[in-house]
Amino acid sequence: MSRDSANKAEGKESKLHVVTLTPFFPSDKNPVNGCFIAEPARSFGEFGIDSTVIAVSPLYKAANKTISTDAADWVRYPAFPGLAGLASAGKLLHLRLASRLRRLHSEKPIDVIHAHTAMPSGDAARSLAKQLGIPFVVTVHGLDVLNTFGESGVASEKRQKKAIEVYTTAEAVICISDKVQEIVRASTPPETRTRVVPNGVDPELFCPKDGFDSQDNHEILVVGSLLRSKGHPLVLHAVARLAAIFPGIRCRIIGEGTDHLEFKALSRELGIEQQVRFVGRQGRTEVAAAMQRCSVFALPSWNEGLGCVYLEAMSCAKPVIGCRGQGIDGIIMHGINGLLVPPQGLEELITELKQLFLAKAHSQQIGAAARETILRDFTLRHQAKKLAAIFREAQLSYTQAYAQEKSLRSKTRSL
């Protein structure tokens, strides 16, 4: 009988020790990376979870240091650079962590391993959990659930096979949106056990602020990696088209990425260089302040598992524009608590922006409903509570399955 089962028999619920393996975590190299992991973990104690976080990074990348109060140990592991080495990275990470987790388990028994991404963390967690005789769960953050990265061939097939092995052996596959769950179910055997737990928001940091709701505030905010699939070019074209109607229109773009120079060149070509400001990567408080200042948040991305930034802008009571068919589609009700446009739907984006700028009351109504949505279902506490319940279910399910297997072996021996 497990510690948790024994305590429940006595009418009490003990803490579960959960070890998180993640390639995402705030560090000196990227202070906002993995905030969707670090921030809900602060609430785990409230729901009976004792959390140990191990953030992992390959040796070929620069070493990271934790810079926040969120506790995590950074562990570097050997791996071959690029996609070619991804299929073997889980095995190498497992070898790097095996003695460390055995030692930790002997000092402070681990109840569940929670891995973020199938590779390398999920693959390593699968082997480590088997060795320790405990369950593991894995969270899927993006739409490329099988790690194909748009490639085909032997290397891609190996990654797909590894990912499916991880998902089918995990006690739970945690999907950040209904869209991600839909893809996981379509890509894996029926025995894969999926659950949906959307990312949460800190409603105190991301909150409405008075003083930025004037009729002539026509600032569009975009937050996200500077990649074409995020929809930045659509926003720039929309700004150019709307500038004649709204001379004071502005666009602030937060983020870094490989298409940065292309987007800056496009703003010059469209004649809106003065209206568009690229401010690079920003910290959490700076992003929250930018969301409070803007009049509309727009990220018409057509490759988005969910997108924390949509939820954060909604929490600031701003009208948010996303794309249909993406993860956010399961949260935004078009015209009620946000707006949805088709992927690459420039005309629809222009129409929605124009209506929001012209109808201030309508814009405020959508923003208020957005804030209500977050407070009702999508705070960090909501996320932590749902994860804690899954950890307990995984531990109980694993314990029951082990007991049944042990009983069956005993009966077989007696025969």
Does 88 map to a domain? yes
The model's confidence at residue 403, banded by pLDDT at 50, 70 and 90, is low
CATH number at residue 404: 3.40.50.2000
Task: Give the range of the structural domain holding residue 268, as residue numbers without chain letter.
Answer: 219-377
What average pLDDT is seen over the chain? 92
For the residues 394-411, what does the mean pLDDT come to? 75
Q: Are 287 and 229 part of one and the same domain?
A: yes
* The predicted structure's pLDDT at residue 66: 72
Q: Are 11 and 33 part of one and the same domain?
A: yes
Residue 64 predicted with pLDDT over 90: no
Residue 30 predicted with pLDDT over 90: no
Does 208 map to a domain? no
Q: Are 350 and 310 part of one and the same domain?
A: yes
Q: Are 165 and 309 part of one and the same domain?
A: no
Q: Are 31 and 74 part of one and the same domain?
A: yes
Does 206 map to a domain? no
Q: Are 193 and 129 part of one and the same domain?
A: yes
Does 212 map to a domain? no
Q: Are 157 and 28 part of one and the same domain?
A: yes
Does 75 map to a domain? yes
Q: Are 304 and 334 part of one and the same domain?
A: yes
Q: Are 271 and 316 part of one and the same domain?
A: yes
DSSP collapsed to 3 states, the chain: CCHHHHHHHCCCCCCEEEEEEECCCCCCCCCCCCHHHHHHHCCHHHHCEEEEEEEEEECCCCCCCCCCCCCCEEEEECCCCCHHHHHHHHHHHHHHHHHHHHHHHHHCCCCEEEEECHHHHHHHHHHHHHHHCCCEEEEECCCCCCCCCCCCCHHHHHHHHHHHHHHHHCCEEEECCHHHHHHHHHHCCCCCCEEECCCCECCCCCCCCCCCCCCCCCEEEEECCCCHHHCHHHHHHHHHHHCCCCCCCEEEEECCCCCHHHHHHHHHHCCCCCCEEEEECCCHHHHHHHHHHCCEEECCCCCCCCCHHHHHHHHCCCCEEEECCCHHHHCCCECCCEEEECCCCHHHHHHHHHHHHHCHHHHHHHHHHHHHHHHHHCEHHHHHHHHHHHHHHHHHHHHHHHHHHHHHHHHHHHC
pLDDT in tens, 306-345: 999 999 999 999 999 999 999 999 999 999 999 999 999 9
pLDDT in tens, 222-262: 999 999 999 999 999 999 999 999 999 999 999 999 999 99
Q: Are 80 and 151 part of one and the same domain?
A: yes
Q: Are 277 and 407 part of one and the same domain?
A: no
For the residues 35-57, what does the mean pLDDT come to? 95
Q: Are 250 and 354 part of one and the same domain?
A: yes
How many independent structural domains does the chain possess?
A: 2
* The predicted structure's pLDDT at residue 9: 41
